[in-house]
Chain A
């Protein structure tokens, strides 16, 4: 491959599989950290749940060259293995993110934007949540916006996803001063302030894993 202009098929099904593997690796590595974040404002199980869920994702990873089928399989595994609120929320993200891509072997940069936007729309609807409520959306939405802007400027998938991961990181940090309005953390009221949201953190890690997987497979 000589260059990576946005007109080329940017993200193969293999890159998506690598993304999920990398997600599983980082979630296993950060398992204790995520659970620690979840202890003061949740029920101290987010790291365990995400690690268990993504381990199962990797174990059942479809080798189909069909991005939609891969994402749907991820969704169904997360739904049945993660539990708590994160299971249906991440399950919905992957289910809705993959829907437009049934039968497609690769994603264009513009498809990545659709994937994020559809996934996020599903999470918003499932969780009846909006930005600023101290949830995973506070990492996901800035990532989608940065991705969309970068793609509109004609950036490659690799560059656009790096911008998305950086924006997700900022969004994750921005949850620290927020007061939670959804989930068990919301019952703490002002006591939920000064804690980084575990869901936003796992979302950031997963988005960063996507950026890295696409960068590696584009070399």
Chain B
């Protein structure tokens, strides 16, 4: 293992310290660990996310004006614990409730839900939207469902802007759910990655092999195949996304009238000719930006063949898996509301425009 670390046990703490020094406009709180906009939130809904470390800039890099109000980092690839989301939620609550945006991994989902229950016991209204956009997984009947990938970044951007615009909690929750069912992603790996704690790669991949359909925790994908050209790989990912059927699953959400968690059937959109989309071509960590442009060229071509127009794009490192080489593609169907909120000003360490 060759890494820029001092001691494997301390990496998360040391990285948070550095983040706080580099971004004094963001408050870094330790024990429990969270990062939050300094000064808290006044008179609007607070937007909070979090997850294991190792996906940077997700989520801490998205804390700031027009995006997240707080983010809770766990240990590398390990969910944060409810005390973190509880304290972060109390710190940023501006009296209008909290929207939690959660990637669909069992640990994240359970820890955030528990924190939501604890915050509700304090009289704070909390909603909890799970992002499950990974088309590599076909159905949810016998699994924990599709995982959360790049749509999370768009959901955080759009919901942060909507909170600034004054959306109330009901409307913000509905918006976040809409972004989720409008978004689809898929990723692939050229190399595995190594967590500082384990010290060895999460799986073995021969020089001439690749994994298709990976998550973001170094887990193997749904298929292993011989490595192909950038165009062929992009075509596989883009086609799976663009031709994915209307995925139907049950998601658990808070029913404020019943005062209980309920399972609700949710159905995705399918992309149609004439759709406008926001695209992310995301490096898994080690893949250079130059290669992402090769992928983007082919993605634009495949999208055009499907009659789908890319109207905004992010190309770079947005939701990573340590030093894994590979790429993930995300497409989010953008209606007028999503596009307007996406274009709104944002000022965070990792996303900044309009300011």
Contact = CB atoms under 8 A, between A and B. Distances in A.
B144 A179 contact: no
A88 B113 contact: yes
Interface string A71-108: 00000000111111101110110000000000000000
Contact of B77 (A43, A92, A127, A128): A43
A189 B77 contact: no
A84 to B, nearest CB: 4
A64 interface: no
A87 B75 CA distance: 14
Given A181-B143, A184-B106, A88 B78 contact: no
A24 to B, nearest CB: 19
Interface residues of A, number: 27
B114 A126 contact: yes
B261 A125 contact: yes
A183 B106 contact: yes
B110 interface: yes
Nearest to A80: B83
Contact of B114 (A91, A179, A182, A189): A91
**From B74, B111, B263, residue with most partner A Cβ within 10 Å:** B111
A88 B82 contact: yes
B252 interface: yes
A84 B143 contact: no
Contacts of B217: 43
A127 B107 contact: no
Given A186-B142, A187-B143, A84 B82 contact: no
Interface in B210-265: 217, 219, 252, 261, 263
B287 interface: no
A84 B114 contact: no
Contacts of A45: 78
B353 to A, nearest CB: 35
B144 A84 contact: no
12 contacts: A79-B83, A80-B83, A83-B79, A84-B79, A84-B107, A88-B113, A128-B252, A181-B143, A183-B106, A184-B219, A186-B143, A187-B219
The 3 closest A-B pairs by CB, nearest first: A186-B143, A88-B110, A80-B83
